[in-house]
Amino acid sequence: MKRITVLKFGGSSVASIEKIKAISEYLKKRTENNEKLLVVVSAMGKTTDSLLKQAAEITADPDIRELDTLLAVGEQNTISLMAINLNHIGVPARSLTGMQAGIKTFGQHTKSRIANIDSEFILKELEKFDVLVVAGFQGVNENKEITTLGRGGSDTSAVALATAIAAPCEIYTDVTGVFGTDPRLYPEAKQLEQVSYEEMLELSALGAGVLETRCVEIAKNYHVPIYLAKTLSEKKGTWIMENIDLLEKKVVTGVALDKNILHVTLTCNGCSPDFVEKLFNELDTQSVNIDMISQVVVGSNINISFTCKKTDKHFLERVITNLSSAFPSIESTIREDCAKLSIVGSGMRDVSGVAARAFRLLGKNDILFYQVTTSEISISYAIDENNAEKAVQLFCEEFNI
């Protein structure tokens, strides 16, 4: 039996016909080395942005079911072109949409989640073809409607497929691997040879942007090692794996910066105790992912602050509107000029003094923070966006990132 490997190529890697041809030649060499390949691809270049722009020219609030149908076109374009080219150069290949690949989803349109995958069908198709080219980012729900998984969903598709067929997963993009922080913010940042699922999960969730959070979560839950590297590069990439397999554990592994956040404060004076419950029910109904939650209660006066993605602003406004009808005294402040700065490291749970160094560094450099949250392996701050890049550089120097 030939070895099966899942490979994923991002949008910048397949941004032109020339790039698709180059990747096809690489895939051909892999198949000649006794491999069967399941290749997950994104839309070419900025195709998704272009499709969103077209919809925005019609309305600022498009129907999300129709938006999913529109956005799925991007990946279908890529899979067809790659399969055409593979067959042209003598590699038996077939393209599959998310629906054809049996990627079943649930949840709200534009941010659906994967329920299960028809692995039996995929394995049978791999007996007939050397390469299956699957559209990432999409699937089909119980109503047979096309759904999408949200930005970065192709990473999730790839790891979920690898899990379903018990294969290793390689993700190729335009970076050589995982760095301690974004090299554009701190050029001296070091590339990591290995990073634990736990640390990568924190870095992704906190805004590092290298891998989509859900894909790391699936890999962690099902023990699927991920290899992240630059497309068609000879340079070694980064392995994301179990914490126990790491050769060296740093106190602070990385610094993450997320500028795509809203800092939200809701104040309700004279509110009934069920205010908080109804708030979180509304956030859940609108699928608004929140972070950095803090609450202050004085008598019947409740003050809650949290952060969420700027892309969820429309859904957040619906939440506030719905709450206002039940709680007329509610006041809301939404700040768009904030950033979330985080330090992450599995060694933090065993070494004292990391928090003291971090707070001292911010204070010494007059960088104010509006909210702070911690986990066993991370500390996150909501700070002014105009101080964000300076803070990244300070933390990287302090912790030798």
Q: Tell whether 104 is covered by a domain.
A: yes
pTM, to two decimals: 0.79
Tokens representing 176 are 């050589």
Tens-level pLDDT at each residue, the chain (401 residues): 689 999 999 999 999 999 999 999 999 999 999 999 999 999 999 999 999 999 999 999 999 999 999 999 999 999 999 999 999 999 999 999 999 999 999 999 998 999 999 999 999 999 999 999 999 999 999 999 999 998 789 999 999 999 999 999 999 998 899 998 888 888 998 898 888 898 888 887 766 667 888 899 999 999 999 999 999 999 999 999 887 655 556 788 899 899 989 999 999 888 887 888 899 999 998 888 888 898 888 877 888 999 999 989 989 999 999 888 888 888 889 999 999 999 998 878 777 888 899 999 999 999 999 899 888 889 999 999 999 999 999 999 999 98
Q: Which residues contact 75 (CB under 8 A, 6 or more apart)?
A: 41, 42, 43, 97, 98, 135, 136, 137, 138, 154
Residues of each annotated binding site for substrate: 48, 75
Q: Cβ(296)–Cβ(311) under 8 Å?
A: no
φ, ψ dihedrals at 176, nearest 5°: -80, -10
* Residue 272 burial (CB count, 10 A): 13
CA distances from 330 to 134, 275, 293, 322 (A): 47, 10, 18, 11
The rounded distance, in Å, linking the Cα atoms of 374 and 372 is 7
Q: Tell whether 26 is covered by a domain.
A: yes
Distance, first Cα to last Cα, the chain: 43
Q: Tell whether 102 is covered by a domain.
A: yes
Q: Tell whether 111 is covered by a domain.
A: yes
Q: Tell whether 82 is covered by a domain.
A: yes
Report pLDDT for 201: 85
> Nearest CA to 11 among 98, 64, 77, 91?
77
Q: Tell whether 276 is covered by a domain.
A: no
Bridging pattern class, strands 238-241 and 226-230: antiparallel
Total domains in the chain come to 1
Helices (H), 194-312: 197-205, 213-222, 275-285
Residues of each annotated binding site for ATP: 8-11, 173-174, 184
Q: Cβ(46)–Cβ(40) under 8 Å?
A: no
11: domain range? 3-174
The rounded distance, in Å, linking the Cα atoms of 68 and 157 is 16
Bridging pattern class, strands 93-96 and 35-41: unpaired
What CATH code is carried by the domain that includes residue 74?
A: 3.40.1160.10
**In whole angstroms, how large is the CA radius of gyration of the chain?**
22
Q: Tell whether 370 is covered by a domain.
A: no
Between helix 354-364 and helix 388-398 the angle, nearest 10°, is 130
Report pLDDT for 366: 94
The single-letter code of the amino acid at 55 is: A
DSSP sequence for 68-85: HHHHHHHHHHHHHHHHHH
DSSP sequence for 175-206: SSS-BSS-TTT-TTPPBPSEEEHHHHHHHHHT
Helix, strand, coil percentages, rounded to 5, for the chain: 40, 30, 35
Q: Tell me: the pLDDT tens digits for 293-306?
A: 988 888 778 889 99
Report pLDDT for 152: 81
Q: Tell whether 126 is covered by a domain.
A: yes
Q: Cβ(78)–Cβ(41) under 8 Å?
A: yes
Residues of each annotated binding site: 8-11, 48, 75, 173-174, 184
